[in-house]
Amino acid sequence: MSSSASGGMPLVHAVNVHKSFGSVEVLKGIDVDVHAGEVVCLLGPSGSGKTTFLRCINQLETIQGGRIWIDGELAGYREKNTKGGRRLYRLKNKEIAAQRREIGMVFQRFNLFPHMTALENVMEGPVKVQRRPKGQMREEAMGLLETVGLGDKSSAYPGQLSGGQQQRVAIARALAMQPKLMLFDEPTSALDPELVGEVLQVMRDLAAQGTTMIVVTHEMAFARDVADRVVFMDGGVVVEQGDPAEVINSPSHKRTQAFLSRLRSEHEQVAKAAADLV
Amino acid sequence: MPASTEEAGSPPSREGGGGASPTDRPGPIDAVPVRHPGRYVAVAIIAMLAAMIISSFVTNERWDFPYAFRVMNYTPVLEGLLKGTIIATLGSMAIGITLGVVIGIMRLSDNPVLRVVGFLYTWFFRGVPRLVLVILFGTGIGYLYPTFDIGPLPFSQQLAEWLGLSSDLTLFSLNVNQISSTLIWGIIAMGLSEAAYMAEIARAGIMSVDDGQREAAAAIGMGPGLGMRRVILPQAMRVIIPPTGNETIAMLKDTSLLAYLPLATELFFQTQAIGNRTLKIMPALTAATMWYLVLTTVLMIGQFYLERHFSRGYGATRAQSKSATLRSRLIGLSEGGAK
Ligand SMILES: Nc1ncnc2c1ncn2[C@@H]1O[C@H](COP(=O)(O)OP(=O)(O)OP(=O)(O)O)[C@@H](O)[C@H]1O
Ligand SMILES: [Mg+2]
């Protein structure tokens, strides 16, 4: 396999990824490919390793086995020929930071920089990391805030914004680096229900523009409408993947069926309780 | 019957308030505040004590404030104030804060060697009293290292001899006795000692910053150094500054230890010398006290502005809570079911 970004090579090419925390193996050989322009939703019960896999892609966790290629480049290591055969050499922190620049990440808890305004949050990466000119970047950052519907909040600090607004600033901050790939880890699950829609709308727009995205989510409607493919994980392995409508409406695997029916019954219980109250 | 319902439905203080009639909706609140009679008593007592003290200042000649003010303005006292107190405080705090932050970061490093070095540093300089350090630096260094060589290699003199070279491989050498017993050694001694305390303060500040911030910095491609400078330290400052203000004020007063270097150009040394010479010991001490209070006041004002600067963005509280998690997931499913 060539190491250059050829046409057929997926943007994310993860092969046999293993990750353990101490003696607990959390990822047990994950194979996932994501092609440029694709939107992939990761589904699965709590503790199945979705967050961990996303963090491995962005090298916030180091993996113990397997390989991840991002746009044809091996993440975290350089492969060199030695007398004893091909060996992996760990990259320096600086080189890993450079690889992360190609990937935008949106966290469940937003993680905006609280000491910077919304605009400064968005400008920070391009100006300090990519060393782009500040004046030009300010306009671009304002444009990004406007596309997420926050043009009027540019001088607000994160503490003065609602959760939904903070998450939209976080999306703008990640987009400002012009990443090849966007990772979302349950971007709406820390939000009050009435704020979920505004964040999902921004993500739908991104998907429509052809942004490559991997989204961990429990929002089944979003997965069904927006994803090109859903990947269902359980117990650290990929149980099944495929067309969203097929996997969600008629899952072929028992574990997927159990997970989806549990989500539905939880939902019905809440609906019944709400009906009883009325 | 109508009278009693009117009574129940209306606010109790109809006459005193905004004059709202019972049928109106309640208007602006114009309430009588809670009275604090105890406060008036306390104020009276304190005012009396203050008057007693002031009257004693004025009537008791031994205080001799006019002489104290004169001492405050004597040239040697002013020189001592500038060099031995102000410059010494600024210099040693500059060393202390810079080195302290570095050691604080070392103690949190992934590298075990750096962690141990940081720990040993803190252990040594917190363990030795400042007075002992000052004397050690003032007299000890000049005795142990009369000349201070900075060479390219350790043991460079011995190595040069062994190789039969004429030069001793020393880059440059410094005659320590020319600069020992001076302010510089005092500033270094106090700065090194301060760094041990500042390291603990910096470490606590850095640890107080949420881990998510480090990850967010990494996710926009910052290396660990840039993330520390731009994201972690500015947030840690909120926690670091108040105890640092404390440390600076303590340092201001601890510079009086420099008299034992021995250093003559130092505020406390000078006022004491004047007191001993003129036998007006109390006014001389008063003069020193007043200068220390003036400087402390200036430092506290500075601290106020620093704190305000680094508390940017912390005015409002975050409204989100994790409790919304399950609900939002279920709503998402119902949205799916409806379509
Ligand atoms: N830093 C860590 N140290 C030890 N164990 C961890 C760590 N992070 C995650 N785990 C474990 O790894 C497993 C997978 O966690 P992960 O967060 O990836 O699950 P998830 O699929 O994202 O779940 P959720 O839907 O609840 O977010 C869990 O059992 C968790 O306890
Ligand atoms: Mg998770």
- Complex confidence, ipTM: 0.89
Alpha-carbon distance of A276 to B243, in angstroms, equals 56
pLDDT tens, chain A, 278 aa long: 434 444 578 999 999 999 999 999 999 999 999 999 999 999 999 999 999 999 999 999 999 999 999 999 999 999 888 888 888 999 999 999 999 999 999 999 999 999 999 999 999 999 999 999 999 999 999 999 999 999 999 999 999 999 999 999 999 999 999 999 999 999 998 898 889 999 999 999 999 999 999 999 988 889 999 999 999 999 999 999 999 988 888 888 888 888 888 888 877 777 787 777 76
**Confidence (pLDDT) at B198:** 96
Secondary structure of residue B15 in the 3-state scheme: coil
Residue A150 sits in the same domain as residue A218? no
The residue whose CA has the least distance to atom 17 of ligand 1 is A51
Query: What pLDDT sits at residue B327?
Result: 44
Q: Which atom of ligand 1 is nearest to the CA of A45?
A: 25
**Distance between start and end Cα atoms, chain A:** 62
- Whether residue A88 is contained in a domain is answered as yes
CA distance B326 to chain A (A): 8
Q: Are residues A132 and A222 in the same domain?
A: no
pLDDT at res. B3: 45
End-of-domain residue from the set A179, A205, A234: A179
B99 with B191: CB under 8 angstroms?
yes
Peptide bond into B262 cis (omega under 30): yes
pLDDT band at B332 (very low <50, low <70, confident <90, very high): very low
What residues of chain B, 225 to 284, have a C-beta less than 8 Å from chain A? Answer: 226, 230-231, 234-235
- For residue A1, being part of any structural domain is answered with no
Residue at a domain's end among A179, A194, A222: A179
Residue B20 has pLDDT above 90, yes or no: no
Same domain, A195 and A173: no
Q: Which residues pair with A244 in a beta bridge?
A: none
Q: Do A14 and A147 fall into the same domain?
A: no
Q: What are phi and psi of A149, to 5 degrees?
A: 80, 25
Distance from the alpha carbon of residue A254 to the mean position of ligand 2, in angstroms = 22
Question: Which domains are delineated in chain B?
Answer: 84-257 (1.10.3720.10)
Is the domain of A264 the same as that of A206?
Answer: yes
Distance from CA of A241 to the nearest CA of B (A): 19
Residues A51 and A91 in one domain: yes
At B330 the pLDDT is: 42
Give a yes or no: residue A40 inside a domain. Answer: yes
| Whether residue A130 sits in one domain with residue A81 | no
Q: Are B134 and B258 in contact (CB under 8 A)?
A: yes
Claim to verify: residue A10 and residue A97 sit in the same structural domain: yes
In a domain, residue A196? The reply is: yes
Contact B235 A115 (CB under 8 A): yes
Cβ-defined contact of B327 to A193 (cutoff 8 Å): yes
CA-to-CA dists, residue B75 to A91, A246, B70, B261, B298, angstroms: 62, 90, 10, 21, 21
CATH code of residue A38: 3.40.50.300
Could you tell me if residue A184 is inside a domain? yes
Query: Does residue A38 lie in a domain region?
Result: yes
- Is A46 inside a domain boundary? yes
pLDDT at B242 > cutoff 70: yes
List chain A residues with CB under 8 Å of B213. Answer: 111, 113
For residue B171, what pLDDT is reported?
Answer: 58
For ligand 2, a single-atom ion, the residues with CB < 5 A are A 51
Q: Using DSSP, state whether B172 is helix, strand or coil.
A: strand
Among the candidates A151, A179, A207, a domain finishes at A179
Domain match, A267 and A130 both: no
| Same domain, yes or no: A165 and A74 | no
- Residue ranges making up the domain that contains A158: 114-179
The ligand minimizing its distance to the Cα of A53 is: 1
Q: Is residue A10 part of a domain?
A: yes
Establish if B330 touches chain A: CB-CB under 8 angstroms: yes
Q: What percent of chain B has pLDDT over 70?
A: 77
Lowest mean pLDDT segment, chosen from A164-178, A238-252, B6-20, B267-281: B6-20
Q: Are residues A38 and A75 in the same domain?
A: yes
Look up residue B20 and give its amino acid: A
β-pair partners for A42: A216, A231
Please tell me the predicted confidence (pLDDT) of residue B262. 79
A189 and A166 in a common domain: no
| Number of domains comprising chain A | 2
